[in-house]
Amino acid sequence: MKVVFMHIFKVIFLAGATLFAAGVVGAEADQGPTVMARAADVDAAAAMLRDQALNKNVAYAWLTQLTTRFGARMAGSASERKAAEWAAGSLESMGFDTIKIEPFDLQLWQRGAESAEILSPFPQKLVVTALGGSRATPPEGVDAEATLFATYQEFLDSKVDLKGRIVVVLQPTARTQTGVGYGLNSGSVRSRGPLEAKQRGASAFLMRALGTETHRFAHAGATQFQTKEGIPSLAMSPPDAEAMLRMKVLQDKGEAGPLRIKIVSTPRFLGGGQSQNVIAEFRGMEKPDEIITIGGHLDSWDLGTGAIDDGSGMAITLAAVKTMIDAGKRPRRTIRVVLYGAEEVSQPDNKGLSGAQAYADRHVNPATRVSSETHILTAESDFGADVIYAASMPVASQTDFNARLGKILYPLKVYVDPKPADGGGPDTLPSQRQGVPAMDLRQNGMDYFDTHHTADDVLERIEPAKLDQNVAAWTATLWLVANGDVTFNPQVRK
């Protein structure tokens, strides 16, 4: 998952206003006995599919193959492309109806050599990694005095001369279930910090990685895409930042002089390249042109193997559909699994989400789309592999739909939040901007930022039983959505 929380809030306020204005257009206004009987059938099937999903292990098996065969899948890389081709084949063999690979253009950034060390007064090596999209140092590195700031705000408020300095921001990340601690941090420190430092004349930017753990991993992640205008920008592992805070205490007590730091980081801007979305459908029986998009993103950062970010999201959502296929249960509407390319990297326009944007342009935006299909709901799984604890639906479903959903999800220890969805996953944003409502199946994120964007994002972080709980919740929820009488998109009449 990348930096989108700040954007999400904005989108929600805009889209939310539209939805509230539209009201509960599609609500069950005319529930006769037939409709209610059909609802009971749908609910029974959803519960059956939920239980079948619980012990199938499809998601874990798929994720195991993906991570073993392709390792890291950097946006625009050969590995991402080959993984997309393999994924398309795997979806075909699972029994999806149609599978397409749709390429799109993007600008490429590639990590180079990277190292950093404190030269004085406490010489030692640091564990660092360049922020995605940041500029390189000269090959011999940058060697300069560092100015340490305990928080980002302290840096922004500072009046000290930073010309030629390495700006070091040591602010930690709060551990939260929703990830809001990361959202607020990354929305500013990581994306804007480097250019704020550049504007103050700094020679480089070094921040405490946006991670909640104390293991010695530097967390990667995008900053605003720089070509000429930026400065070398890196994240360091939390234990290194803690050590530097202790050095700052010695400095503040007058027991240590200024820190001199050397940074070598040689990423390259490779110019234009291609990534791709993989799109696989399980066609609806009655309303095949009413589309529900689900999925995750196929690219990962280059340090780990993208098991929790976002191999698990793809595995969970495709396994949900596989559960229906294996049970011989075809829904009324079409469920489309999209494995988005290039979610993680920022782009020169700093918009990012290139794959999701390409999808929305081609399939959702009435001005540019190639088909007349209608998207009634969108959702993504992109918050790791821990259990789902809450579901929230678009505002248009604030009816007895939620009560029915709760009955089916509670056995999985999932409650239904009466408040409307406020995220949907980063890759749903371009579709949401076109008015497609989103739902959330919210995962526990307490430990997500321990690992995400690090070399430690590997299969060993995954607990298969938790994946299956996710698959069960997705399967049951999708079945209700794809067969129900609620029309989530107010633009669509049922």
Residues interacting with a copy of itself, by CB under 8 A? Answer: 64, 67-72, 78-79, 118, 122-125, 127, 214-217, 238-239, 242-243, 246-247, 250, 304-305, 454-456, 458-460
Cβ-based nearer residue to a copy of itself, 20 or 122: 122
Residue 312 beta carbon to a copy of itself: minimum distance, rounded to whole angstroms: 15
Per DSSP, the three-state class of 142 is strand
Pairing of strands 415-416, 388-392: parallel
Q: Which is nearer to a copy of itself, 94 or 481 (CB)?
A: 94
What three-state secondary structure class fits 126?
strand
Structure tokens at 276: 């791709």
C-beta closer to a copy of itself: residue 344 or 456: 456
In the bound complex, what is the minimum distance in angstroms from residue 265's beta carbon to a copy of itself? Answer: 15
- Cα 265 to chain centroid distance, Å, stands at 26
Nearer to a copy of itself, 115 or 399 (CB): 115
Quickly count: other Cβ atoms within 10 Å of residue 69's Cβ. 12
Phi/psi of residue 343, each to 5°? -75, -35
| 3-state SS assignment for residue 322 | helix
Taking the complex as a whole, how short is the minimal distance between the CB of residue 450 and a copy of itself, in angstroms?
10
Q: Which is nearer to a copy of itself, 240 or 380 (CB)?
A: 240
Q: How many whole angstroms separate alpha carbon 458 and alpha carbon 462?
A: 8
User: Over the Cα atoms of the chain, what is R_g?
Assistant: 23
Least spacing, CB of residue 441 vs a copy of itself, in Å: 27
Q: Closer to a copy of itself at the Cβ: 68 or 153?
A: 68
Tell me how far, at minimum, the Cβ of 309 lies from a copy of itself, in Å: 14
Distance in angstroms (rounded) separating the CA atoms of residues 453 and 173: 14
Distance CA 220, CA 284 (A): 40
Of 26 and 141, CB closest to a copy of itself: 141
C-alpha–C-alpha distance, residues 168 and 51, integer Å: 51
Instruction: Tell me which residue of 353, 421, 235, 321 sits closest to 49, measured CA to CA.
Output: 321
Residue with token string 């494995």: 339
Partners of 208 in beta bridges? 236
Question: Shortest gap between Cβ of 455 and a copy of itself (angstroms)?
Answer: 5
Instruction: State in angstroms the smallest separation of the CB of 46 from a copy of itself.
Output: 34
Q: What residues pair up with 273 in beta bridges, in sequence order?
A: 106
